[in-house]
C-alpha cells in the first residue's frame, strides 16, 4: 500500500495477568477527543453498557468538541443491543411547520477557508431547524441504558464547570471557523480566552462553561421537556419572532423516530445503514452496488484501477443525487439506470467484471462492549446559527443554512419534515462473525469517507487501523480531491478522466473523521481514531 502516516491508537485485544490468562476489555471506544472517550469509559466502568457510553460521550462532545457538537443540533444513534436486530434512533433536526417571510429572516453568508479549499456557510436565526439532540439522548437513556441520566451527564457537567483544556486540534478547528464564531458575541464568549476575551483561547488554556454545566443539571432533573415544552422553548421561540422560523409548537411536537436500518449485502458482509429520509445511507448503498459490478480482487491500494473505480462510482452516485429531491431515496428504476451507465464506463476503462484489471461540523462516536452491544453515533450542529440559548450555553444549529441539505435552494425546504442528512452511522456484520462499527463527520465527505473505510476493510482486507488511516479521495461538482501520497501513474490516469485533480498537501479535516471500532472473529475488541479529526481510542479494562 506504500508509506502511510498513521493517525490512530493501537489498542491490544487483551492484556495478560501474571497467570497469563487473557482479560478482554469491557469495551472499546473511538471518538474525536480524549475527554469524549473518557466520559464513555467512566460510565461503562461504573456498570454501564455501550449505550450508556454513547450518551455520556454525546454530552461530553458538546463540551470538549464545541465547534463540532451541540445539544442544539441533532443526530443518529445506530444501536445493536446484544442478540437483537439493529435499530436507528433518529433525533436529527426537523423543518419548522411554517416559514417566516424571506424578507424578515436573519440569514447571513460566511465563507470559511480550509486551507486548500473554501466553503460558504449560512448562519442566523433564519437558519435554525428544530433541534433533536436533547430529546435523543433522553430517549436512548430511557430505552437502552443501565444508569440514570444524572450519572451519564455528570462527566460533561464536571468538565464544563472546571473548563476544558483546549488541545491543538480543537484550536485548529476553531481557527478555521473563526469568522462564524466572531459573528455573535455570545458565541465568541464560549470560545474566548479567559485572559483576553477578544481572542480565541490558545492551546492549553481552560475555558469553563458554567451555564452549560447548569443546563446539564437541569436536563438530568427535567428531561427533554425543558427544550420542547418549557421555559427554554418559550425563550427560543420568542427570540425567533425576529428573524427566525421556530415556534413553541415546533418544539413541542418534535419526536425521536426509531427506524429499521437500510440493509445491504456487499461481498460477504451485511451492512446496516442509515435509512431514508436521510439520504446518506441510500447513496452509500448505491455506490457500493455500483462497485459490486467490478471485482477489486488483486487490486492494490492507490493504484490507477483502485482510484478510478472509486472515482467513477462517486461520479455516478453524484449524478443520481442531482436527480433526487431532498430526502428522497433512489427507486429501483433509477438505480438500474445508473448501474447500467456505470457498467458501460467500467467496460470503456477495461475495469468491468471479468475483464482485465489494473487498479460539517459533525463528530462521530463508535463503541462496542464485551456483551455484544454496538453503538455508532453521529452528532451535528452544522456550524451553529450564531445564537446561544440564553442562560444555557447551548448553541442552536444552522441546518436550514447547510448547502448540502438545501436541495433546490435555501428557504425552499418542505415544512414540518425531518431533514435529510449525509450522516450514516454504520454497522457491518462480517461473514466470520466479526463486526465493524463506523461512521464519519464531514458534510458531503461523510459518505466518501465511510465508503473508503468499508472498501478498505471488505474488498482490500486492510486492518481497521489502516483502513481508517489510508489516504482518501473525494469527488464533488466535478472536482476530484486526493490526499497524499499519490503515485504519478495514478495521478496521470485520473487526470485523463477528470481535469486537474487536486492533490492536497497533507491529510486534512476536509476528508472526514471516521472514528471506528471493531470486533474480530475471536471476539477481540479493537479501534482506530481518525487523526484527521483528533481521533482517539480508549479501552475500558
What distance in Å separates the CA atoms of residue 352 and residue 340, rounded to the nearest whole number? 11
What distance in Å separates the CA atoms of residue 123 and residue 108, rounded to the nearest whole number? 5
Among this protein's residues, is 249 annotated catalytic? no
CB 246 within 8 A of CB 130: yes
Residue with cell 470486533: 519
Which residues, in sequence order, are CB contacts of 94 under 8 Å at separation 6+?
Answer: 129, 130, 132, 250, 254, 416, 417, 418, 419
**3-state secondary structure (DSSP) of residue 252:** helix
CB 399 within 8 A of CB 129: yes
CA torsion through residues 382, 427, 48, 469, sign: negative
Residue 304 neighbours by CB distance under 10 Å: 21
Residue with cell 470538549: 64
Which residues, in sequence order, are CB contacts of 344 under 8 Å at separation 6+?
Answer: none
Element spanning 238, H or E: helix 231-240
Backbone conformation region of residue 45, classed left if phi is above 0, alpha if psi is from -120 to 50, else beta: alpha
What distance in Å separates the CA atoms of residue 351 and residue 358, rounded to the nearest whole number? 8
Length of the chain: 541
Closest by CA to 476, choosing from 505, 502, 456, is 502
Exactly one of 130, 303, 362, 436 is catalytic; name it. Answer: 362
Cis ω for the linkage preceding 26 (within 30 of 0): no
Burial of 268 (0-12, 13-18, 19+ CB in 10 A): exposed
CA-to-CA separations, 280 to 99, 186, 251, 275, in angstroms, rounded: 26, 33, 25, 8
Give the active site residues. Answer: 362
Amino acid at each position: 500500500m506504500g508509506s502511510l502516516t498513521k493517525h490512530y491508537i493501537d489498542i491490544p485485544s487483551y492484556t495478560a495477568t501474571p497467570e497469563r490468562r487473557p482479560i478482554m476489555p469491557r469495551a472499546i471506544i473511538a471518538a474525536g477527543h480524549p475527554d469524549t472517550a473518557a466520559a464513555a469509559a467512566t460510565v461503562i466502568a461504573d456498570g454501564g453498557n455501550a449505550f450508556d457510553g454513547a450518551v455520556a460521550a454525546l454530552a461530553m462532545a458538546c463540551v470538549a468538541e464545541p465547534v463540532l457538537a451541540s445539544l442544539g443540533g441533532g443526530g443518529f444513534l445506530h444501536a445493536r443491543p446484544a442478540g437483537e436486530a439493529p435499530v436507528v434512533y433518529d433525533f436529527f433536526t426537523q423543518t419548522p411547520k411554517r416559514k417566516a417571510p424571506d424578507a424578515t429572516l436573519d440569514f447571513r453568508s460566511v465563507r470559511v477557508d480550509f486551507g486548500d479549499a473554501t466553503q460558504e456557510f449560512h448562519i442566523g436565526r433564519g437558519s435554525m431547524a428544530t433541534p433533536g439532540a436533547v430529546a435523543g439522548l433522553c430517549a436512548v437513556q430511557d430505552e437502552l441504558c443501565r444508569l440514570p441520566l444524572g450519572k451519564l451527564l455528570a462527566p460533561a457537567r464536571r468538565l464544563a464547570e472546571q473548563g476544558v483544556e483546549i488541545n491543538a486540534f480543537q484550536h485548529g478547528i476553531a481557527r478555521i471557523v473563526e469568522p462564524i464564531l466572531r459573528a455573535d458575541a455570545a458565541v465568541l464568549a464560549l470560545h474566548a480566552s479567559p485572559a483576553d476575551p477578544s481572542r480565541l483561547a490558545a492551546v492549553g488554556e481552560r475555558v469553563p462553561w458554567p451555564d452549560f454545566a447548569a443546563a446539564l443539571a437541569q436536563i438530568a432533573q427535567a428531561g427533554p421537556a425543558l427544550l420542547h415544552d418549557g421555559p427554554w422553548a418559550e425563550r427560543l421561540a420568542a427570540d425567533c419572532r425576529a428573524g427566525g422560523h421556530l415556534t413553541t409548537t415546533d418544539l413541542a411536537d418534535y419526536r425521536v423516530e426509531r427506524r429499521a436500518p437500510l440493509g445491504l449485502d456487499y461481498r460477504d458482509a451485511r451492512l446496516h445503514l442509515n435509512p431514508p429520509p436521510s439520504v446518506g445511507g441510500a447513496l452509500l448503498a448505491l455506490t457500493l452496488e455500483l462497485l459490486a459490478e467490478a471485482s477489486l480482487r488483486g487490486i492494490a491500494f492507490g493504484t490507477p484501477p483502485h482510484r478510478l473505480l472509486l472515482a467513477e462510482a462517486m461520479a455516478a452516485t453524484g449524478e443520481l443525487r442531482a436527480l433526487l429531491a431532498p430526502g428522497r431515496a433512489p427507486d429501483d428504476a433509477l438505480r438500474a439506470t445508473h448501474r447500467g451507465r456505470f457498467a458501460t464506463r467500467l467496460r470503456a476503462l477495461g475495469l468491468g467484471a471479468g475483464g482485465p484489471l489494473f487498479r460539517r461540523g459533525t463528530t462521530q462516536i463508535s463503541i462496542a462492549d464485551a456483551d455484544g452491544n454496538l453503538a455508532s453515533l453521529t452528532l451535528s450542529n452544522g456550524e451553529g446559527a450564531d445564537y446561544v440559548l440564553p442562560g444555557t450555553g447551548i448553541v442552536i444549529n444552522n441546518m436550514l443554512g447547510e448547502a448540502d441539505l438545501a436541495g433546490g435552494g435555501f428557504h425552499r425546504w418542505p415544512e414540518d419534515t425531518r431533514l435529510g442528512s449525509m450522516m450514516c452511522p454504520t454497522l457491518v456484520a462480517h461473514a466470520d462473525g466479526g463486526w465493524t462499527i463506523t461512521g464519519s463527520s464531514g458534510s458531503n465527505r461523510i459518505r466518501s469517507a465511510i465508503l473508503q473505510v468499508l472498501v478498505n476493510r471488505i474488498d482490500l482486507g486492510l486492518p481497521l487501523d489502516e483502513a481508517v488511516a489510508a489516504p482518501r479521495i473525494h469527488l464533488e461538482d466535478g472536482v476530484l480531491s486526493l490526499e497524499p501520497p499519490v503515485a504519478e501513474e495514478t495521478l496521470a490516469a485520473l487526470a485523463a478522466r477528470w481535469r486537474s485533480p487536486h492533490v492536497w498537501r497533507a491529510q486534512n479535516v476536509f476528508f472526514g473523521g471516521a472514528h471506528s471500532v471493531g470486533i474480530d472473529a475471536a471476539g477481540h475488541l479493537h479501534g482506530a481514531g481518525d487523526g484527521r479529526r483528533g481521533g482517539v481510542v480508549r479501552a475500558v479494562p
